[in-house]
Structure 1
């Protein structure tokens, strides 16, 4: 008679739901470490994109700030002295009307896209005569025949051609300004004879190229700006939001109308070329448009990665409930493998997003991950129907995250409602489990 081998009694921790839940929780916490590594990889790729963008801006042209014009009029400080020194009157325009028509393009550098643009900017307006009484200057001191009109853009290499300036109906060709008396760091100037009376009208056109931003300086008593672009997702910069703005299928547009009461510059002053180069004052008077991607690929991947813990938690809970309902134990090592597959998912998402865009990358990565986990679950449970149900649950989870990522303004609302429904579903299915029998 063959002796039967006695079965080893189960140890206290074997078959314990509490112990298994504790270990599963530890596995989830351990998976947070590689999840943070994925975020580090995303940040590194995003930094690389930023560096590429800086390189393209340096080669193409950077963000543009349209500044000016300013009227600069020399005068004799001591009119009766033979060796009288020369001072300068700085005068800002009464009215400035700017119209900017901007066309964008994506400059591809490797796997990265950088937004660049070309723009036609028309500037027109007029100056009043300087108020010599307030300045304490006699008309005989003013050197009207040596007046200068100066204007500037922040990146001079962005000029596509030499602008033509018209003053009082006469055409002039500007030249680069030099010397310590200029009000802008980089400026162009026109020398002309200023009439002693009457309004001084001007206009000029700028053909520019730039990248990322186009901004304007509030410099007139009245400043009007009209912006038109084929870019559909502008973000408005500075202290002044546009009075009207609209977005159509063809692009976007905006209009500003500003008075000088909030302008941080005086209308006229003497002998101080730093008024218009003060960084704080420029920041207060600058407004414009940033050509912002609605949500770029890296921002979307970053937002998706933030839901990694939630997806892993919901997946493990669903798998654990399936295990209890079917009374087929799944080894903790298999939980770890499924968690590893869900972490690798984000590497796939990032790499494919750089090549084919976020939406297609999400579809490819999610399909591959759901298929892998489902086939693995089918082999563990020996039940294709249960694996199909689990695949359906995973599809709902990943579809839920995709919808949240696409919705910027309503993502919190939709996410809260969906999470409530998920928790309610888990509560419903968990009621069928006799927890005391395990």
Structure 2
């Protein structure tokens, strides 16, 4: 028999030679820290897409709300009534005559308009509110019955340099400006000293009126303007979002009552605190604005001023914005991933249990799934229920997964408790507004103190 050929070291194959890089990852604390940090940065990519998803759903909600409002009726703003008085002004021109060598004077007459606000304006609005749904989205809409009354003093333009003989009294009319003509549900009339006048839409010069449509009556009875007179009118709106009024009366009062439990008072003036009443069944509030409280006068020549900035009223909106809360929750995604990985890292370092980078990646993806679950469930339920379902699902998933990784009930329980505390802490911060920064800062301080205490005995110099 032939002897086996002797193998030299050159033609021998290495058997079970350990991978130096893999060994370094297992034994070096620095390597594990770099690996965990790199995975956190990688997971920021899907977390960014989650934020984009939330923004897209929020924009979709806005589109649907706008669609609901357009079908039902838009926001309401009233500006008026306003007395419109035509008057004459005169201008003289001189023309030189070459034949007679003299100047010929010619007087031209110009037609202008004066706009006079009422002496007193009282508005009473009874608002019935409800929510309308389209798919998974909802919007607040209302039907408002508004009773408007007040009085005018005998018109006098002497202070503006207009003589009574130059006023065309027989062509006076009443203007009323408003938004949401589509939402008006009754015939628009104004009663002056017992005589009724019907409003008609005037579409001229719309762009100069700050998106307010103009209604105008026919010519008033001239006899009405020779003394003080009272007016009253009623208008019913189907609207959404808000109701506002411009305080054109020298004294303006508005009383508003509604079954809406979460009103937002907006505009340039606040309602009276002493008469304000807000309960679960609705609210009832009063405003009173005096001429001394506003920076505009009662009479204007040639054109009506834009006074939208002086409007006041109530906002009717669905205050619970699930997407805003989801967005705020997702902003803490980096913190949740970082702290969860930190807990696993500390357990791995102190117990010498090996955790593969792929397992870290799976845990990170499970944490990101929390936000997609939160958004999708909150579209069909309230935020608290969605948060509980998403949180419990992710905590159980990671706890059970960590038990198979760490092979230790104590460590997996610690992971579950840590995640529960972290998600509870974030939920509390989301609910807070004025104290969110304070509570968040204290919470992060306590987390940092805990990490410092737990890691104090780790030998960071070894590896």
The alignment's TM-score, normalised by the length of structure 2, stands at 0.84
Is 1:33 the counterpart of 2:45? The answer is yes
Is 1:174 the counterpart of 2:199? The answer is yes
Equivalent pair of 2:29/2:349 in contact (CA under 8 Å): no
In 1, the alpha carbon distance for the partners of 2:266 and 2:200 equals 30
Rate the CA distance shift 1:8–1:56 in 2: closer, same or farther, 3 A. closer
In 2, the alpha carbon distance for the partners of 1:98 and 1:320 equals 66
Q: Residues 270-285 of structure 1 correspond to what in structure 2 (within 5 A)? A: 270=301, 272-273=302-303, 275-276=304-305, 281-285=306-310
Is 1:198 the counterpart of 2:227? The answer is yes
Per the alignment, residue 298 of structure 2 pairs with 267
In 2, the alpha carbon distance for the partners of 1:265 and 1:253 equals 28
Residue of structure 2 aligned with 1:213, choices 222, 234, 242: 242
Equivalent pair of 1:130/1:268 in contact (CA under 8 Å): no
Per the alignment, residue 62 of structure 1 pairs with 74
Q: Residues 143-162 of structure 1 correspond to what in structure 2 (within 5 A)? A: 143-162=168-187
* Residues 100-109 or 69-78, more deviating: 69-78
Is 1:50 the counterpart of 2:91? The answer is no
CA-atom RMSD in angstroms? 2.8
Give 1:164 shift: 4.2
Residue of structure 2 aligned with 1:225, choices 247, 254, 277: 254
Deviations 1:329-373 (A, max 9, x none): 211221111001111221111111111122111111111111111
SS at structure 2 position matched to 1:66 = strand
Give 1:386 shift: 2.2
Deviations 1:86-119 (A, max 9, x none): 4433111111111222222111111111221111
SS at structure 1 position matched to 2:348 = helix
Rate the CA distance shift 1:293–1:423 in 2: closer, same or farther, 3 A. farther
In 1, the alpha carbon distance for the partners of 2:182 and 2:216 equals 12
Give 1:165 shift: 2.4
Equivalent pair of 1:238/1:283 in contact (CA under 8 Å): no
Give 1:190 shift: 5.3
In 2, the alpha carbon distance for the partners of 1:131 and 1:150 equals 18
Is 1:340 the counterpart of 2:340? The answer is no
Give 1:418 shift: 1.9
Residue of structure 2 aligned with 1:406, choices 417, 431, 439: 431
Per the alignment, residue 247 of structure 1 pairs with 278
In 2, the alpha carbon distance for the partners of 1:137 and 1:389 equals 86
Larger Rg: 2
Give 1:242 shift: 3.0
In 1, the alpha carbon distance for the partners of 2:265 and 2:440 equals 28
Per the alignment, residue 119 of structure 1 pairs with 144
* Residues 115-124 or 175-184, more deviating: 175-184
Per the alignment, residue 293 of structure 1 pairs with 318
Equivalent pair of 1:177/1:189 in contact (CA under 8 Å): no
SS at structure 2 position matched to 1:424 = helix
Residue of structure 1 aligned with 2:213, choices 185, 196, 214: 185
Structure 2: gaps (5+ residues) = 1-14, 91-105
Per the alignment, residue 19 of structure 1 pairs with 31
Aligned residues: 427
SS at structure 1 position matched to 2:434 = coil
In 2, the alpha carbon distance for the partners of 1:88 and 1:393 equals 74
Per the alignment, residue 327 of structure 2 pairs with 302
In 2, the alpha carbon distance for the partners of 1:32 and 1:246 equals 48
Structure 1: gaps (5+ residues) = none
In 2, the alpha carbon distance for the partners of 1:71 and 1:375 equals 76
In 2, the alpha carbon distance for the partners of 1:85 and 1:312 equals 75
The alignment's TM-score, normalised by the length of structure 1, stands at 0.89
Give 1:394 shift: 0.7
Per the alignment, residue 454 of structure 2 pairs with 429
Per the alignment, residue 418 of structure 1 pairs with 443
